[in-house]
Amino acid sequence: MAEHRVLGKSVLRQDAVDKVTGAALFVDDIQFGPTLLHAKILRSPHPHARIISIDTAEAAKVPGVKAIVTGRDCRHYIGLYLADRTVYASDKVRFVGEPVAGVAADSIEAANAAVKLIKVAYEPLPGVFDPVSGARGREGLVHETPAAGDLWWQGLSCIKTKSPGALLHENLGEYQCAPFIHPVPGTNISNHFKLRKGDIDRGFAAADVIVENVYTLPHIQHSQIEPHSAVAHVDRAGKVTLWASSQSPNAVRKLIATAFELPMNKIRVITPYVGGGFGGKAGVTCEALVVPLAMRLPGYHVKLTLTREEVFQATFVRQGLVARLKTGADKTGRLVAMEAELFWDGGAYTEYGVNITRSGGYCSSGPYEIPNIKTDSYCVYTNHPVGGPMRGFGMPEIHWGIEQQMDIIAEKLGLDPLAFRRMNALREGSLGAFGGPMEGATLADTIDAVAAKCGWGAPVPPASAPHKVRGRGMACMYKAPSMPPNAQSSAILKLNEDGTVHVLTTAMEIGQGSLTALAQIAAEELGVAVDKVVVTLPDTDYTPYEWQTVASRISYSAGNAVLAAARDAKAQLLAVAAQVLAIPAAELVIEDGQVFPPANPARRLAVSDIAMGYLLPEGAIGGPVIGRGSFIPAGITGLDKDTGQGDKPAAFWTYGTQVADIEVDTRTGEITVLKVTAAYEVGKVINPAMCKGQVQGGIVQGLGSALYEHLVLAEGKPLNSDFVDYKIPAATDTPEMDIILLETSPQADGPFGVKGIAEPTMVPTAPAIANAVYNAVGVRITDLPLSAEKVLAALKKKQARES
Amino acid sequence: MEVFFPRTLAELWPLKAANPESAVMAGGTDLLVRLRKTGERPPAIIALERLAELRRMSIEGGGLRIGAAVTIGELAASEIVRDALPALWQAAAALGSPPVRHGATVGGNMCTASPAGDTLPPLYVYGAAVAVAGAAGCRRLPIGDFILGPGRTSLAPGEIVTDIIVPLPTGGAFSAYYKVGKRRAMAIAVASLAVCIVRTADGAAGKVRLAWGSVGPTVISLPAVEAFLAGKRLAPDVLRQAGAMAAAAVLPIDDVRASAGYRRSLAGNLLLKLAALGDDEQEDGR
Ligand SMILES: Cc1cc2nc3c(=O)[nH]c(=O)nc-3n(C[C@H](O)[C@H](O)[C@H](O)COP(=O)(O)OP(=O)(O)OC[C@H]3O[C@@H](n4cnc5c(N)ncnc54)[C@H](O)[C@@H]3O)c2cc1C
């Protein structure tokens, strides 16, 4: 393979200087002058209630108030995979914090004063506060005939619903949805993903060990440093311009076009730097709220920046999950059967969450080959904050249980958990849970790499004090990008007169380094220095289509589009150079901005000489070079509605393994994560420093979800919607990290072999820590987070049992 | 809203008198959070940060006099505090984060009178006194009389805290502060314990002072537990008994941070840290 000049090098991030110096502009920083108005949102205090009336008369009298909108002003249903929500609540509210009315005023104080004066009459309704009751309540019976004794969920601490039977979406059957989403009208189940592989009964009959447990996860929040912000402007011709802190400019445009019946060429979405996304700024969030206000106030700029409390309550959260997993293995350690019932706490609207249920369903085996599988994955409406995408999209959730099951079974069989996983790992050609063959299945490579690096099997060093105990645990993972089978990317690459390059895409820089990664791909292919390439931030009037910056797919998908655009531009440059140099294009190369035949490098042209065409004595040839690239993944097929079986549901799979070394304080229950060793197989590393940065960030975020994070909900009301009581890891919590990046299986259709890495990084951390806690002190905790309180309580219980 | 920056106490009193509804602000790390949360808007704010008289630390008659507007960061950087009042020093180092400690003051921590205030348990075990002044004059009272309940102090309208006077423990005393929060930094105590123990020549505990944070409406002292330990060697079983007494006697509540049960367990278990006095002092000195 040719030596890469730019790829695989830790070049400086394109945004580094801007961000380090504070020069980088985020939406809230943009100055609009005297046309700026401030929006504030009246939000529901009830988890579930009918709206009887809304009276805005008094509010409208507050000096400075310019416009007020309510659900009456926007009745269209929107949603990414299931159109189940309106921009403002129309007839009912379904979660605490749901937008009921919006006010635009010339000061925040006036907007706040007006919000307080809007009178809403509600008729409170009974609510659904856990997904199992939600699915099983009177109207939501999952099973035609509930099996006797099938009450495993009773007594779980997360089962909270007092009066089952509430139905959240009476019109579920009428909502439009993607063809691969299967709502069950008349129930709270907005998607039922079914998977049937092999023969589950025969599978369990062949098992020598069967382990059945319930694993639960609470809602957590992305906790981006930048709160969501949007500014809308409508000009006299009705054109809407939006500045948005969004991961998905094109999805915002599409959903707003639907919500307000606008043609897409009358909506322009501009996204400056975004201060963290993690999924919480995907789809459409607060952008839609300001549009109807701006439509009433042509010429003004209407701005909404959410408070931290609003970010917690009223933007996406990670869905909660109650997972019953039953796993069987024979005495040689082969996994033979697995049954999974997954109840996802989708929250009040599941327009996006329904697809998490699907991903969690078709990946429910974890990264292992299991011949017989029965999975029912239910997306359930509850009166909780809206569940949506968050780093991992179902994978951290299902691996939380799967990876503990693996340790439990291995222990029962007397096998080393690492060897046991390795034996069952998906390999090239193994049949995945969905029945199709796995390609590039490199889990075993990552297991081996981690084992060697951390010295798996060596004795655990002594703890730092007599009342502390050390332990070590591991977890594996796999993840595919969760997206529609035809999620597209495109790119335009323009050459400037001096041979510098602009790459236009609508891929979003959310801190992950996409600007730099895409610049490296363009520079590598085109043969110019990376500092000659600038990748621009999205502006949908000028940058070409990108489905969304989610699913760890940008380096792969937008990378492919940029690669194609660079190839296109390169072909144009070579065609001109061939004519100028009178050497066939096939004999020319471009390196460092110079076009020459390797056989005779002295005969050369600079890219800048031909970027705008070339003037020959007989007249001009070529013209300004513009490369065009489009990408759509090929060969992704659907899954059967009744069996979840198919050939290739996803573009690629990324595999990884983590080992956590921890210490437990037996007096307080506190866990200290000392070290995490991680290996990922990523096909091809574009930028080692950024790639390692992703892994570090994922481990720390995973650690937060493992030890601290829990949005506490009481009858749907968040009790800790701020950073005083919702804790994410701080610098002092950060463990030592040893990271290995492998390139053993370049992705056939990935640019230069690239696979995605962003989300996989956080998937195994929590179960690895849970397994390490068990290893240290012999208590198994199946309910996240592993708070010190839970650990101490479990230790006490164990002591009581033993004495 | 007007904001005043008096430079001397002589300047402060007339401002206070002219603005009876004003709020006093030291570092603002509690006050500003409260104003944002409640929407309260006092007509004026009187800032203490430029009052040199409130920013001094000095040794006076066997005690350390700490100006009310001395910051937590200054306490944590003070060698006198580190060497003579290690429990207070450890508490200062465990409060918030570097930026918070840069603004937060010891007087603010005192006047907020939160049961979770990190400097308070150490000040209880050291037997600190609070100097209060108003236009009419000064008074001095023990910290236990100054703090009346959660968020309640004996400050009269128009009064401020000027100093906190901390008697320096006799040589050979062991003191320490143990805190359990929801994470390692920037976390309010779920439970905490300050200890100050004077050991007798044979290594047993002589005088024992203990104060728990976050396990009751105010900092909790338990004279019965102190009396139980006095005169005994602090062997694990003795400490376990004392821990059981403490766990039964504290008055914690359930809240979003922790259950009352967990706080009780911690109140008892934190005493076990005394088992290996010297060693534990280093290991848990955070
Ligand atoms: C992010 C963050 C983290 C925190 N972490 C911790 C922590 O870990 N542990 C902890 O204990 N606290 C913590 N706090 C709370 C706070 O920082 C402390 O209580 C601090 O000591 C308050 O001091 P201050 O000078 O900022 O008080 P201010 O906010 O200025 O004042 C607090 C109150 O005391 C009054 N006041 C202040 N000084 C005087 C005076 N001299 N005389 C009379 N009245 C006075 C004010 O009027 C006000 O009512 C945290 C706060 C924040 C914002």
**Domain residue extents for chain A:** 16-22+487-631, 32-125+228-305, 317-483+637-802
**A108-125: buried (b, 16+ CB within 10 Å) or exposed (e) per residue?**
eebbebbbebbebebeeb
Q: Is pLDDT of A1 > 70? A: no
Tell me, yes or no, whether B253 and B201 share the same domain: yes
pLDDT digits (tens, 9 = 90+) for A237-293: 999 999 999 999 999 999 999 999 999 999 999 999 999 999 999 999 899 999 999
Interhelix angle A395-413/A765-777, nearest 10 degrees = 30
**Residue B257 Cα to ligand 1 middle (Å):** 20
pLDDT digits (tens, 9 = 90+) for A409-454: 999 999 999 999 999 999 999 999 999 999 999 999 999 999 999 9
Q: Of B95, B125, B127, which Cα lies nearest the Cα of B108? A: B95
Residue A759 annotated to the active site: yes
Cβ–Cβ contact A109 with B under 8 A: no
**A322-340: buried (b, 16+ CB within 10 Å) or exposed (e) per residue?**
bbbbbbbbeeebbbbbbbb
* Distance (Å, whole) CA A588 – CA A614: 17
Q: Of A246, A318, A649, which Cα lies nearest the Cα of A484? A: A649
Query: From the candidates B184, B193, B286, which should be mutated to test the interface with A, based on the most A CB atoms within 10 A?
Result: B184
Number of domains in chain B: 2
Q: Of A397, A328, A341, which Cα lies nearest the Cα of A368? A: A328
* Distance (Å, whole) CA B218 – CA B149: 6
CB A468 within 8 A of CB A666: yes
* Distance (Å, whole) CA A771 – CA A708: 17
Cβ–Cβ contact A689 with B under 8 A: no
Please tell me the predicted confidence (pLDDT) of residue A342.
97
Please tell me the predicted confidence (pLDDT) of residue A137.
63
CB nearest A727 (choices: B97, B182, B262): B182
Hey, is B139 helix, strand or coil?
Answer: strand
Tell me, yes or no, whether B194 and B70 share the same domain: no
| pLDDT above 70 as % of chain A | 98
Amino acid at A168: L
CB A668 within 8 A of CB A730: no
CB nearest A788 (choices: B180, B186, B270): B180
Please tell me the predicted confidence (pLDDT) of residue A57.
98
pLDDT digits (tens, 9 = 90+) for A584-608: 999 999 999 999 999 999 999 999 9
Q: Of A285, A40, A128, which Cα lies nearest the Cα of A713? A: A128
* CA distances in angstroms from A456 to A223, A381, A453, A541, A741, listed in the order given: 34, 43, 8, 54, 18
- Which residues in chain B have Cβ-Cβ distances shorter than 8 Å to A307? none
For residue A755, what are its two tokens?
């696979």
Tell me, yes or no, whether B48 and B31 share the same domain: yes
More confident residue, A565 or A148: A565
User: What is the domain range of residue B52?
Assistant: 2-167
What letter would DSSP give residue A330? Answer: -
Alpha carbon dihedral A317, A318, A320, A324, in 10-degree steps, equals 170
**Residue B111 Cα to ligand 1 middle (Å):** 8
* Distance (Å, whole) CA A30 – CA A210: 59
At residue A164 the predicted structure's pLDDT band, cuts being 50, 70 and 90, is low
At residue B241 the predicted structure's pLDDT band, cuts being 50, 70 and 90, is very high
Tell me, yes or no, whether B36 and B136 share the same domain: yes
Tell me, yes or no, whether B86 and B122 share the same domain: yes
Are the folds of A16-22+487-631 and A317-483+637-802 the same?
Answer: yes
Domain boundary among B167, B194, B215: B167
* Distance (Å, whole) CA A708 – CA A454: 26
For residue B94, what are its two tokens?
């465990």
Please tell me the predicted confidence (pLDDT) of residue B202.
84
Interchain pair B266, A668: CB under 8 A: yes
pLDDT digits (tens, 9 = 90+) for A508-557: 999 999 999 999 999 999 999 999 999 999 999 999 999 999 999 999 99
* Distance (Å, whole) CA A387 – CA A724: 22
Domain of residue B221, CATH code? 3.30.390.50
Amino acid at A698: G
Tell me the average pLDDT of chain A.
96
More confident residue, A728 or A163: A728
Please tell me the predicted confidence (pLDDT) of residue B278.
43
Q: What is the CA radius of gyration of chain B?
A: 19
Please tell me the predicted confidence (pLDDT) of residue A508.
98
CB A317 within 8 A of CB A386: yes
Q: What is the mean pLDDT of residues A348-362?
A: 98
For residue B197, what are its two tokens?
């123990």
The gap between the terminal CA atoms of chain B, to the nearest Å, is 40
**Residue B103 Cα to ligand 1 middle (Å):** 9
Best CATH choice for the domain A32-125+228-305 from the list 3.90.1170.50, 3.40.50.10490, 3.30.420.40, 3.40.50.300: 3.90.1170.50
Domain boundary among B107, B140, B167: B167
Q: Which atom of ligand 1 is nearest to the CA of B159?
A: 43
Tell me, yes or no, whether B143 and B217 share the same domain: no
Please tell me the predicted confidence (pLDDT) of residue B275.
84
Domain of residue B154, CATH code? 3.30.465.10
CB A128 within 8 A of CB A164: yes
At residue A163 the predicted structure's pLDDT band, cuts being 50, 70 and 90, is low
- Which residues in chain A have Cβ-Cβ distances shorter than 8 Å to B284? 465
- Any ligand 1 atom below 6 A from CB of B161: yes
User: A283 to chain B nearest CA, in Å?
Assistant: 31
* CA distances in angstroms from A619 to A580, A605, A615, B39, B135, listed in the order given: 12, 18, 6, 74, 94
Tell me, yes or no, whether B89 and B188 share the same domain: no
Write down the pTM of the prediction. Answer: 0.97
Please tell me the predicted confidence (pLDDT) of residue B67.
98
Query: From the candidates A112, A157, A223, A668, which should be mutated to test the interface with B, based on the most B CB atoms within 10 A?
Result: A668
Please tell me the predicted confidence (pLDDT) of residue A264.
97
Sequence-distant (6+) residues with CB within 8 A of A242 are: A230, A231, A232, A233, A252, A256, A267, A268, A269, A270, A287, A290, A291
Interchain pair A788, B188: CB under 8 A: no
Tell me, yes or no, whether B72 and B182 share the same domain: no
Domain boundary among B167, B186, B204: B167
- Any ligand 1 atom below 6 A from CB of B68: yes
pLDDT digits (tens, 9 = 90+) for B58-112: 999 889 999 999 999 999 999 999 999 999 999 999 999 999 999 999 999 999 9
**Residue B101 Cα to ligand 1 middle (Å):** 10
Within 13 Å of residue A461, how many CA atoms lie on the same side as its CB?
9
At residue A2 the predicted structure's pLDDT band, cuts being 50, 70 and 90, is low
Tell me the average pLDDT of chain B.
94
Helices (H), A261-343: 287-295, 308-314
CB A33 within 8 A of CB A299: no
Region of B70 please: left (phi>0), alpha (psi -120 to 50) or beta. Answer: beta
For residue A539, what are its two tokens?
């502006």
* Distance (Å, whole) CA A485 – CA A650: 7
DSSP string, A527-540: TS-GGGEEEPPPBT
Please tell me the predicted confidence (pLDDT) of residue A3.
86
Tell me, yes or no, whether B146 and B37 share the same domain: yes
Hey, is A209 helix, strand or coil?
Answer: strand
Please tell me the predicted confidence (pLDDT) of residue A147.
52
What is the enclosing helix (H) or strand (E) of A560?
helix A559-581
Q: What is the mean pLDDT of residues B143-154?
A: 97
DSSP β-bridge partners for residue A53: A121
Cβ–Cβ contact B276 with A under 8 A: yes
Give backbone dihedrals phi and psi of A434, rounded to 5 degrees, phi first: -85, 5
pLDDT digits (tens, 9 = 90+) for A636-687: 999 999 999 999 999 999 999 999 999 999 999 999 999 999 999 999 999 9
Give the E-state strand segments of A176-275 in sequence order. 189-197, 209-217, 229-234, 240-244, 267-270
Give backbone dihedrals phi and psi of A732, rounded to 5 degrees, phi first: -70, -10
Q: What is the mean pLDDT of residues A398-405?
A: 98
> Which of B34, B36, B112, B130 best tests ligand 1's pocket when mutated (most atoms within 8 Å of CB)?
B112
C-alpha A498, offset from chain centre: 39
Hey, is A429 helix, strand or coil?
Answer: coil
Interchain pair A793, B276: CB under 8 A: no
Q: What is the mean pLDDT of residues A203-229?
A: 98
Residue A84's Cβ-count burial label (10 Å; 0-12, 13-18, 19+) is buried
By C-alpha distance, the chain B residue nearest A465 is B283
Q: Of A337, A400, A373, A369, which Cα lies nearest the Cα of A211? A: A337
- Any ligand 1 atom below 6 A from CB of B117: yes
* Distance (Å, whole) CA A534 – CA A542: 15
What is the enclosing helix (H) or strand (E) of A307?
none
For residue A541, what are its two tokens?
């009037």
At residue A145 the predicted structure's pLDDT band, cuts being 50, 70 and 90, is very low
Best CATH choice for the domain A16-22+487-631 from the list 3.30.365.10, 2.40.50.140, 3.40.50.720, 3.10.129.10: 3.30.365.10
Please tell me the predicted confidence (pLDDT) of residue B285.
36
Residue located via tokens 């069996």: A643
> Which of B50, B111, B130 best tests ligand 1's pocket when mutated (most atoms within 8 Å of CB)?
B111
Parallel, antiparallel, or unpaired: how do β-strands A717-718 and A713-714 relate? antiparallel
Amino acid at A301: H
- Which residues in chain A have Cβ-Cβ distances shorter than 8 Å to B266? 668, 792
Q: Is pLDDT of A138 > 80? A: no
Give backbone dihedrals phi and psi of A587, rounded to 5 degrees, phi first: -95, 5
Q: What is the CA radius of gyration of chain A?
A: 27
At residue A803 the predicted structure's pLDDT band, cuts being 50, 70 and 90, is confident
Interchain pair B265, A792: CB under 8 A: yes
Q: What is the ipTM of this complex?
A: 0.94
Tell me, yes or no, whether B54 and B177 share the same domain: no
Instruction: Tell the CATH topology of A317-483+637-802.
Output: Aldehyde Oxidoreductase; domain 4 (3.30.365)
DSSP string, B186-219: S--EEEEEEEEEEEPTTSSEEEEEEEEESSSSS-
Q: Is pLDDT of A140 > 90? A: no
**Residue B143 Cα to ligand 1 middle (Å):** 16
Cβ–Cβ contact A729 with B under 8 A: yes
* Distance (Å, whole) CA B164 – CA B88: 12
Interchain pair B184, A792: CB under 8 A: no
Tell me, yes or no, whether B218 and B264 share the same domain: yes
Tell me, yes or no, whether B206 and B126 share the same domain: no
